Amino acid sequence: MDDPSEAYGPNRQREVYASGMLADQRPEMPVSPDELEEAAMEALSEEARAYVAGSAGGEDTADRNREAFRHWRIVPRMLRDVADRDLSVTVCGQEFSVPVLLAPIGVQSIIHKEGELASARAADSLGVPFVSSSAASATMEEVADQLDDAPGWFQLYPSADPDVTESFVRRAEEAGYEAIVITLDTPTMGWRERDVANAYLPFLDGEGVANYLSDPAFRDSLDAPPEEDEQAALWRFIEQFGDLSMDWETVERVQATTDLPVLLKGILHPEDAREAVRRGVDGVVVSNHGGRQVDGAISAVEALPGVVKAVEGTLSAAEAQSAADAQSASDAGDTTNGESDDEFAVLFDSGIRRGADAIKALALGADAVLLGRPYVYGLAIDGEEGVREVVRNFLADFDLTMALSGRDAASELDSSVLVRPDE
Ligand code: FNR
């Protein structure tokens, strides 16, 4: 599809209802997120099912991610002419036709044989930005090759081996990715009861390691190439996958390696958001990794308002400071103006299932949302076509819910859309 607006609400509804009423065809893809998950579970092996649907501990945070959206309620406005709608948003200076990116999800080869390549193709056909995972089953170059019409970003897991981290960033830049998203919440994997019970870690099966096995710096660290001793390479992967000693210097090193925008994924605490702004990072993704890391953690949507407030406060303090600096510079005859970076992006994921969730996240101050599990459930059911169906339904729902709430632009959704009645 060339024009992603073809996915928008009324067109999608007409298409579906016409196939049903004229050709007696119902959509093959389940429409409700819960039925979608159920159908995906049937398509997956026992281990993959646990790996994809499972979260940390008792999965309390994963449940809360979804449940917490219900506390905020949309208050629709009437008679506001919403015939022409604009779903586009600008994130880190890049224009996206929709306010939705596909989240970095690794190891997609355990979900479907075409894995990330199928998901990236689906994203591309819809013009929906795709975030390619460090832990993908195809190399970042192969994934980038699928992306002609959609923006691609690269998600980085900083490695315990700084040479590997640097090499990944350089490769990502070379492959044409347009931003680096550093995931901070996974310096090691959370305690995922389902995977522990299954004694299952896909990486040790050789899944999700394509970026590493193909990486010159990673290969240099091996005694023998992976083609000769795969087991040793996989254990080396486990040793250097995460870095529990990661700190702000890790971020600084990435910033020094690349000119691409750098975003931090996994921010939940306002103080971390403030520090990100102060350190000249380009954006944050408010996320708890779908509840897969810290069970009992705050839901992502409950963390969002605090992060947004912290970002806005820190940006305006910086602006006031730079205006004061500019004033004293101009008093001193220096005419360079102290422009501040007002493009700091706040993205959001964890619990986005329906259009209304995305509307609430945008209204609470996110610039865009990342869709996670639902799209890989589509992948499990029907490969590339399955991803496309899920994303098209999601965009249709978003568009209709926005229109029926009396709003015509995704970029203009703000807190006036919502109330929180039980507060
Ligand atoms: C993830 N997520 C993730 N995040 C990341 O930064 N790099 C990665 O490789 C992965 N891999 C991954 C695998 C699987 C199976 C899942 C379910 C998730 C987290 C992902 O980007 C996103 O934060 C969550 O999926 C959001 O939660 P929901 O909305 O999908 O529940």
d(Cα 8, Cα 18) in Å, to the nearest integer?
A: 16
Kindly give, in sequence order, each residue whose CB lies less than 8 Å from that of residue 376, ignoring residues fewer than 6 positions away. 40, 52, 105, 108, 111, 119, 387
d(Cα 363, Cα 75) in Å, to the nearest integer?
A: 11
d(Cα 282, Cα 381) in Å, to the nearest integer?
A: 36
* Ligand 1 touching residue 351 (CB < 6 A): yes
* Ligand 1 touching residue 119 (CB < 6 A): no
Q: What are phi and psi of 20, to 5 degrees?
A: -70, -50
Compute, in angstroms, the gap from residue 270 CA to the centroid of ligand 1: 22
d(Cα 102, Cα 105) in Å, to the nearest integer?
A: 8
Q: Helix, strand, or coil here: 267? A: strand
pLDDT tens digits in sequence order for the chain, 423 residues long: 445 565 589 999 999 999 999 999 999 999 999 999 999 999 999 999 999 999 999 999 999 999 999 999 999 999 999 999 999 999 999 999 999 999 999 999 999 999 999 999 999 999 999 999 999 999 999 999 999 999 999 999 999 999 999 999 999 999 999 999 999 999 999 999 999 999 999 999 999 999 999 999 999 999 999 999 999 999 999 999 999 999 999 999 999 999 999 999 999 999 999 999 999 999 999 999 999 999 999 999 999 999 999 999 999 999 899 899 988 888 887 654 444 445 899 999 999 999 999 999 999 999 999 999 999 999 999 999 999 999 999 999 999 999 999 999 999 999 999 999 988
d(Cα 114, Cα 150) in Å, to the nearest integer?
A: 19
Question: Atom 3 of ligand 1 has which residue's CA nearest to it?
Answer: 105
| Residue with tokens 């406005």, as numbered in its chain | 77
Ligand 1, residue 111: give the atom nearest the CA.
15
pLDDT at 2: 45
d(Cα 372, Cα 363) in Å, to the nearest integer?
A: 20
Q: Which residue in 256, 160, 161, 156 sits closest to 216, CA to CA?
A: 161
Question: Atom 12 of ligand 1 has which residue's CA nearest to it?
Answer: 105
Q: Which residue in 149, 148, 120 sits closest to 133, CA to CA?
A: 120
Compute, in angstroms, the gap from residue 304 CA to the centroid of ligand 1: 18
d(Cα 180, Cα 255) in Å, to the nearest integer?
A: 9
Compute, in angstroms, the gap from residue 260 CA to the centroid of ligand 1: 22
| Structure-block tokens of residue 69 | 């959206």
d(Cα 209, Cα 159) in Å, to the nearest integer?
A: 13
* Ligand 1 touching residue 288 (CB < 6 A): no
d(Cα 298, Cα 259) in Å, to the nearest integer?
A: 33
pLDDT at 329: 86
Question: Atom 15 of ligand 1 has which residue's CA nearest to it?
Answer: 52
| Residue with tokens 């044989």, as numbered in its chain | 113
Q: How many CB atoms lie within 10 A of CB 229?
A: 14
- The whole-angstrom distance between residue 388's C-alpha and the CA centroid of its chain comes to 17
| Structure-block tokens of residue 13 | 């509804």
Question: Atom 25 of ligand 1 has which residue's CA nearest to it?
Answer: 372
Kindly give, in sequence order, each residue whose CB lies less than 8 Å from that of residue 61, ignoring residues fewer than 6 positions away. 55, 288, 291, 294, 295, 296, 297, 298, 299
Of 111, 262, 292, the residue with max ligand 1 atoms within 8 A of its CB, to mutate for a pocket test, comes to 292
Conformation bin of residue 324: beta by default, left when phi > 0, alpha when psi is -120 to 50: alpha
Angle at which helices 373-404 and 46-53 cross, to 10°:
40
| Structure-block tokens of residue 31 | 């429409």
pLDDT at 330: 83
Asked whether 135 and 114 are in contact (CB, 8 A), the reply is no
Angle at which helices 373-404 and 355-363 cross, to 10°:
70
Asked whether 133 and 116 are in contact (CB, 8 A), the reply is yes
Burial class (CB in 10 A: 0-12, 13-18, 19+), 193: middle
* Ligand 1 touching residue 374 (CB < 6 A): no
Provide the residue type at 283 as one letter: G
pLDDT at 332: 83
pLDDT at 1: 44
Question: Whats the size of the chain, residue-wise?
Answer: 423
Compute, in angstroms, the gap from residue 196 CA to the centroid of ligand 1: 18
Of 100, 105, 373, the residue with max ligand 1 atoms within 8 A of its CB, to mutate for a pocket test, comes to 105
Render 365-423 in DSSP notation, one character per residue: T-SEEEE-HHHHHHHHHHHHHHHHHHHHHHHHHHHHHHHHTT--BGGG--GGGEE-TT-
* Ligand 1 touching residue 151 (CB < 6 A): no
* Ligand 1 touching residue 304 (CB < 6 A): no
* 71, 73, 362, 420 from 423: Cα distances, Å: 9, 12, 20, 6
pLDDT at 339: 45
Question: Atom 19 of ligand 1 has which residue's CA nearest to it?
Answer: 289
Catalytically active residues are: 289
| Structure-block tokens of residue 305 | 């308002």
Q: How many CA atoms lie within 13 A of 152 on its CB side?
A: 27
d(Cα 41, Cα 383) in Å, to the nearest integer?
A: 14
